[in-house]
């Protein structure tokens, strides 16, 4: 992005000039201060990345996910999250957005929590007795909209409750199948951010990857394969700065670490055996929690490296542990937060054990789609996570 274009951008939350961060799932750009608040909300509310210093998923040197965010931002996606604030009567009622001069606490924090956690300013659908019917209608609209390039329409539907993995009973497929067939790369990126599964099967047993290939959209098909392996790719890149060559059939890289970089204690060996005994569902949840911890550590490093050194490091600069996710049990949230206590070599050992077991589990399945479905974004409670973490700590 050119510097001239960047100079015209403002933070979606407080209007500070030249925002340096993106909230990927919200389709907005934000400043350093507002980013610190977003991080405190947790990745379930806002997935933040630095525009230039974070590692964006590549697809043959093209960052389609970043393009998706920039397109949404440029087309006014922020109005989805601030719909009611655009009403002139909102100023009369006392509602207003934050400004650059506001204090981080409580002013900006309260506004951002209301905007993204409470969805206080999103346009509300008329109340209906059966919410499931409303969600189904929204999901059907999403299913038909993804064939076009109108990203903001699809983001608005997702913000209202449309399901990215919705299986259309009449069409026999999901929105991602439709986007793949139509060659809509950025729609596919948006759906994936909201949990769409590239390994989902239609009524004929075909995946969105199959749809893209059959329609001649080879680049999109290859990107969907990358999305399937996003979790393990991110863990690998965290350790060694490399990614597998999916185009040539390499789906895993297990980094070779020096013994001095690994935890070879009896506790670590016992934990590895415990890891191997987990069901796929339990393993999925642990892997996703470790993925979130990798994201926290990497983003902390970017925050410290890019901070304005004219100001002191404050509590808002870093996030000391994973924020509570209200959809998880207290046991799982406690286990997730304990991951922050792992030393570098303890955490590297855990990451390598997960990558090794991920590869083992894929080889043990009769088809790749069984493994791919293991890494769906929607995940539920896992009591054994805390037990495993207690072994390692």
Identify the pLDDT of residue 372: 39
352 closest CA partner among 226, 249, 225, 232: 232
Which range is most confident: 128-132, 343-347, 368-372? 343-347
User: Taking 70 as the threshold, does the pLDDT of residue 1 lie above it?
Assistant: no
Residues forming beta bridges with residue 29, ordered by sequence position: 22
Query: What digits encode the pLDDT tens for the residues 224-253?
Result: 999 999 999 999 999 999 999 999 999 999
Q: Are 44 and 56 in contact (CB under 8 A)?
A: no
Structural domains of the chain, with CATH:
9-117 (1.10.220.150), 131-228 (1.25.40.20), 230-317+326-392 (no CATH)
pLDDT of residue 95: 76
Quick one: average pLDDT of 172-179?
99
**Torsion sign across C-alpha atoms 381, 382, 387, 391:** negative
User: In terms of C-beta density within 10 A (0-12 exposed, 13-18 middle, 19 or more buried), how is residue 244 classed?
Assistant: middle
Helix (H, G, I), strand (E, B) or coil at 291: helix
Q: Report, in angstroms and rounded to the nearest whole number, the Rg of the chain calculated over CA atoms.
A: 21
Higher pLDDT pick, 269 / 113: 113
Interval 283-307 mean pLDDT: 95
Q: Are 261 and 348 a contacting pair, CB within 8 Å? A: yes
pLDDT of residue 83: 94
pLDDT in tens, 182-218: 999 999 999 999 999 999 999 999 999 999 999 999 9
Average pLDDT over residues 30-58: 95
For residue 371, name the pLDDT band (cuts at 50, 70, 90): very low
Which pLDDT score, from 0 to 100, does residue 70 have? 97
50-54, 84-88, 378-382, range with the lowest pLDDT: 378-382
Give me the sheet containing 21-23, strands edge to edge: 28-30, 21-23, 48-50
pLDDT of 57 reads: 85
Is residue 135 classed exposed, middle or buried when 0-12, 13-18 and 19+ CB atoms within 10 A define those classes?
Answer: middle
pLDDT at 259 > cutoff 80:
no
What average pLDDT is seen over the chain? Answer: 87
Average of per-residue pLDDT across 20-45: 97
How many Cβ atoms are within 10 Å of 88's Cβ, its own excluded?
A: 6
Which of the four pLDDT bands, split at 50, 70 and 90, describes residue 373?
A: very low
What local confidence, expressed as pLDDT, does residue 367 receive? 39
Instruction: Using a cut of 0.85, tell me whether the model's pTM lies above it.
Output: yes
Report the DSSP beta bridge partners of residue 21. Answer: 30, 50
256, exposed or middle or buried, with CB in 10 Å at 0-12, 13-18, 19+?
exposed
Whether the CB-CB separation of 208 and 200 falls below 8 Å is answered with yes
Q: What is the DSSP letter of 17?
A: B
Burial class (CB in 10 A: 0-12, 13-18, 19+), 350: buried
């Amino acid at each position: 992005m050119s510097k001239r274009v960047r100079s015209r951008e403002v933070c979606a939350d407080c209007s500070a000039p030249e925002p340096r961060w993106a909230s990927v799932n919200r389709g907005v750009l934000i400043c350093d201060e507002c980013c610190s608040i977003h991080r405190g909300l947790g990745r379930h509310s806002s997935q933040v990345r630095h525009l230039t210093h974070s590692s964006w998923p590549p697809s043959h040197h093209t960052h389609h996910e970043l393009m998706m965010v920039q397109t949404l931002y440029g087309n006014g996606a922020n109005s989805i999250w601030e719909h009611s604030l655009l009403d002139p009567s909102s100023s009369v009622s006392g509602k207003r957005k934050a400004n650059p001069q506001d204090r981080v606490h409580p002013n900006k924090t309260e506004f951002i929590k209301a905007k993204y956690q409470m969805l206080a300013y999103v346009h509300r659908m008329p109340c209906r007795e059966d919410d499931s019917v409303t969600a189904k209608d929204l999901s059907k609209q999403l299913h038909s909209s993804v064939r076009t390039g109108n990203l903001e329409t699809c983001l608005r539907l997702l913000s209202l409750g449309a399901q990215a993995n919705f299986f259309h009973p009449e069409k026999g497929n999901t929105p991602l199948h439709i986007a793949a067939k139509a060659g809509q790369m950025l729609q596919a990126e948006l759906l994936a951010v909201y949990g769409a599964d590239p390994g989902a099967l239609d009524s004929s047993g075909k995946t969105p990857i199959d749809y893209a290939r059959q329609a001649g959209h080879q680049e999109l098909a290859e990107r969907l394969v990358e999305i399937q392996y996003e979790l393990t790719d991110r863990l690998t890149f965290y350790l060694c700065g490399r990614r597998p060559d999916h185009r040539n059939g390499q789906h895993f890289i297990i980094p070779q670490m020096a013994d001095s970089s690994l935890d070879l204690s009896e506790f670590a060996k016992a934990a590895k055996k415990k890891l191997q005994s987990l069901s796929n569902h339990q393993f999925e949840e642990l892997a996703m929690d470790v993925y979130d911890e990798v994201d926290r550590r990497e983003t902390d490093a970017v925050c410290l490296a890019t901070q304005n050194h004219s100001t002191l490091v404050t509590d808002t600069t870093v996030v000391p542990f994973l924020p509570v996710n209200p959809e998880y049990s207290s046991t799982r949230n406690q286990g997730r937060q304990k991951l922050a206590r792992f030393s570098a070599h303890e955490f590297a050992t855990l990451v390598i054990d997960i990558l090794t077991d991920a590869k083992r589990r894929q080889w043990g399945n009769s088809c790749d789609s069984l493994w791919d479905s293991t890494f769906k974004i929607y995940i539920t409670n896992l009591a054994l996570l805390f037990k495993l973490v207690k072994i390692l700590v």
